Chain A
Amino acid sequence: MSTLIKNAIWIAVGIFGAACLGGIALNRGETINAFWFIAAAAGIYAVGYRLYAGWITAQVLSADPSRATPALRLNDGRDYVPTHRWITFGHHFAAIAGAGPLVGPVLAAQFGYLPGTIWLLAGAVLGGCVQDMVILWCSTRRNGRTLGQMARDELGPVAGSAALVGTLMIMVLIVAVLGLVVVNAMKHSPWGTFTVAMTIPIAILVGVYMRVLRPGRVMEGSLIGLVLLLASTFGGGWVAHHPVLGPLFDFDGPTLALMVIAYGVVAAILPVWLLLAPRDYISTFIKLGAILLLAFAVIVLRPDMHMPSITRFVDGTGPVVAGHIYPFLFITIACGAISGFHALISSGTTPKLIASEADLRLVGYGSMMMESFVGIMALIAACVLEPGVYFAINSAAGVVGASADQAVATISGWGFPVTVETMTTLAKEMGETTLMHRTGGAPSLAVGMAHIFAGAFGQSMMAVWYHFAIMFEALFILTAVDAGTRVGRFMLQDLLGNIWKPLGNTGSYPSTVICSALFVAAWGYFLYIGVIDPYGGINILWPLFGISNQMLAAIALAIATAVLVKQGKARYAWVTGLPMAFLAVTTTVASWEKLFSVDPRVGFLAGADALAAKLEAGTLTGKALETAPQLIFNQRLDAGLTVFFILVLWVTIIEMARISWRHTKGLSVPPLSEAPYAAASDFDAAVVTRGGH
């Protein structure tokens, strides 16, 4: 009887979610309420979690609570600690939640709200959540081995090296594109720049507090940091309007880019306790707080969304990111639906905390559902804006025209009416000098969030909410810059150590400085070129980042598929195999277009040729003339990078197919590296609710 009721409830939840999504899809009104998105998302996640994830853990992964996890077997109180599942969930979500799912859906809003919503939900439930959970399972069964190690163990050295080099390149692009987002958000915004700059001394202060004054008291330290940070967000308004202080924080893009690059070098060399760790503590609290606050405000306010369900830009002429809806919707949304990077976290610290295989679903699948929900909220925040305003903020000068008059005329001509007065008033309301041509997604997300917060909590503080949102994004982008550079440096030291031994010594100061500088130079190059590009840089860098991220996801799914086949679960290999095939095809099509499209805004080579033709014809003047050779070189380099990504992807997939084929034919393959079964009951099963991390 009780199973009957349970099933009836799940069927009802499923029907409710489907009905809400149907309502969204079929809505033909001028606006649609954000409530339907929240309800559709909640319903679909619930069904995905209960039915699909439940079926996968039981049938495909044979997750076995009686099997001792590495945390139990190898419990050392430090790395391996059996931890309560909700706490592991918290750790894991804090690790995977980054700026990606906030930026991608905002950029993809150019296609309308519907394509983004469908992919955020379907991509997560059928792809992203599955990837995170299956990789977590693979790694948990292998004593917490990393993705690169698993690739080598299960697929052989070729795929292993491909995964490793691919990961290093994706790190470079992540840091570069996030740096670009934060530079565009601070450009000529003294308030924003002041607030972001203040995070550095505040973090150092907190770092000293946590190490010297009150060692290890991270809650106290973080609280102090939070208070100071909120104070500097308020104070930024005063500083920006101050006749002497204001101009001190007013910079153009290239200067800010150089500052971020210099900061990257310094942050990578400074000890972790001084800057990186304290800022990460503060940023994690702000991140979780802001996400909860946004969810609460959206539910309280239930704002109307003004973006049409589908815009004309599905044809590939989009001003935000150029390219046809297929494949570029998927490449643009990236992390909110499926992120290859999560596979690195799922095979990092998290598997060493899993107390029971019964927790895999909550930690692996559940955390990614939350991440996708963050993406849905970012999409909502972008779509509550009038479409004309959204496009005026997100379109680069090179696309819509450099002057405000030209830009609003172009955008209004597309059928999204907006006026110069609207934009001026809005900028004034947000405490900014201008909101035109602010590419990168962060400013439009912040305007949307400010509307939602002010609508829910009172209109008087619009500008403060805007800068709170900017600070919130910038904070964990800078944490990603620090942490990414640090990891990149380790990878580089590891790699270069094979060539010249002393470089591989991670404890050596010269090696640290050299490798940090090399890595920063790599991302700094892409960041700087992105900033001087009149098309806003995002149009080039974001798709490149999306391609690399989706490539890594396909690699992770290929490893998972090979493991399933070798485990004798070939009949269920489609669970990871289908999302892998979809991503592999989508990434390849996207790369093809980025290489060979004749549209200079889409194709790298066409873009380089078009600019070279202009240069030759002598039609370029001033800055455009100066930067043209660099931009031409850069587009050709990007084309080379795209080819590299595609090669890495297909090498891994071919290795996966080869190993799977050999296995089904009974030929020799690298043996399954799964740790042998041990009964959980043989170990001290006292799951730590306190202790560990």
Chain B
Amino acid sequence: MMAGPASFLRSAWTVLREVSGDNAYESYLARHAETHPDQPPLDREAFYLSELDRRWSGVNRCC
């Protein structure tokens, strides 16, 4: 397996999307399909808002 610059950039991009939460909706859909296939998933906007609500109700930034 050759790890060229292209594959490095690709994995860097994946990490960046993961850390920033850019891909959160996709993973939510995948997980939702696995665990609750019978219920309709939230749409993008509703999911985004519920994520923000969850994330900003505790201490998550420091001095």
Contacts and interface: CB of A to CB of B under 8 A. Distances in A.
- Pick from A77, A87, A97, A506 the residue with the most CB of B within 10 Å: A77
B43 to A, nearest CB: 8
Interface in A7-40: none
B27 A218 contact: no
Contacts of B17: 219, 690
Contacts of A280: 61
Contacts, number: 128
B45 A480 contact: no
B2 to A, nearest CB: 21
B58 A487 contact: yes
Contact of A98 (B30, B44, B48, B63): B63
A210 interface: yes
Interface string B10-50: 00001111111111111110111001000000011101110
A690 B59 contact: no
Given A77-B35, A210-B48, A216-B44, A95 B22 contact: no
Contacts of B23: 690-691
Given A98-B62, A272-B52, A280-B61, A222 B20 contact: yes
Contact of B63 (A339, A490, A506): A339
Given A90-B19, A692-B24, A486 B56 contact: yes
Interface in A646-693: 688-693
A341 B63 CA distance: 7
Nearest to B48: A216
B7 interface: no
A490 B56 CA distance: 11
B19 A342 contact: no
Contact of B60 (A87, A281, A342, A348): A348
A487 B56 CA distance: 8
Nearest to B22: A219
A111 to B, nearest CB: 21
Contact of B21 (A211, A218, A285): A218
Choose among A94, A349, A490, A690 the residue with the greatest number of B CB atoms under 10 Å from its CB.
Answer: A690
Contact of B62 (A210, A212, A218, A341): A341
B19 A87 contact: yes
A373 B45 CA distance: 38
Contact of B53 (A217, A219, A272, A480): A272
Interface string A201-212: 000000000111
A349 B31 contact: no
Contact of B31 (A90, A483, A486, A691): A691
A35 to B, nearest CB: 28
B5 to A, nearest CB: 19
A313 interface: no
A96 interface: yes
B15 A87 contact: yes
Contacts of B61: 95, 98, 280, 479-480, 483-484
A273 B52 contact: yes
A347 to B, nearest CB: 9
A690 to B, nearest CB: 5
Contacts of A222: 20
Nearest to B53: A272
Contacts of A211: 45, 48-49
Nearest to A692: B27
Contacts of A150: none
Interface in A473-500: 479-480, 483-484, 486-487, 490
A549 interface: yes
Nearest to A207: B52
A644 interface: no
A384 interface: no
Contacts of A100: 62-63
- Report which residue of A84, A86, A273 has the largest number of chain B beta carbons within 10 angstroms of its beta carbon: A273
A503 to B, nearest CB: 17
B6 to A, nearest CB: 19
Nearest to B58: A348
A549 B63 contact: yes
A281 B15 contact: no
A77 B28 contact: yes
A454 interface: no
B18 A689 contact: yes
A206 to B, nearest CB: 13
A279 to B, nearest CB: 11
B18 A218 contact: no
B15 A483 contact: no
B21 to A, nearest CB: 5
A490 B62 contact: no
A8 B9 CA distance: 34
A277 interface: yes
B49 A273 contact: yes
A342 B62 contact: yes
A564 B52 CA distance: 36
B63 A690 contact: no
A548 to B, nearest CB: 10
A389 interface: no
A378 to B, nearest CB: 14
B33 to A, nearest CB: 11
A513 B55 CA distance: 21
23 contacts: A86-B15, A96-B62, A98-B63, A100-B62, A212-B45, A215-B48, A217-B22, A219-B16, A219-B20, A277-B52, A280-B61, A281-B20, A339-B62, A339-B63, A480-B61, A483-B56, A483-B61, A506-B57, A691-B18, A691-B31, A692-B27, A693-B21, A693-B24
Given A99-B63, A341-B63, A549-B63, 14 more contacts: A77-B28, A78-B54, A79-B54, A98-B62, A174-B63, A211-B49, A215-B43, A217-B22, A218-B21, A272-B53, A335-B62, A480-B63, A690-B18, A690-B26
For the complex of A and B, the 10 pairs showing the least CB-CB separation, nearest first, are A691-B27, A215-B44, A215-B45, A216-B48, A483-B61, A100-B63, A90-B19, A219-B22, A77-B31, A344-B59
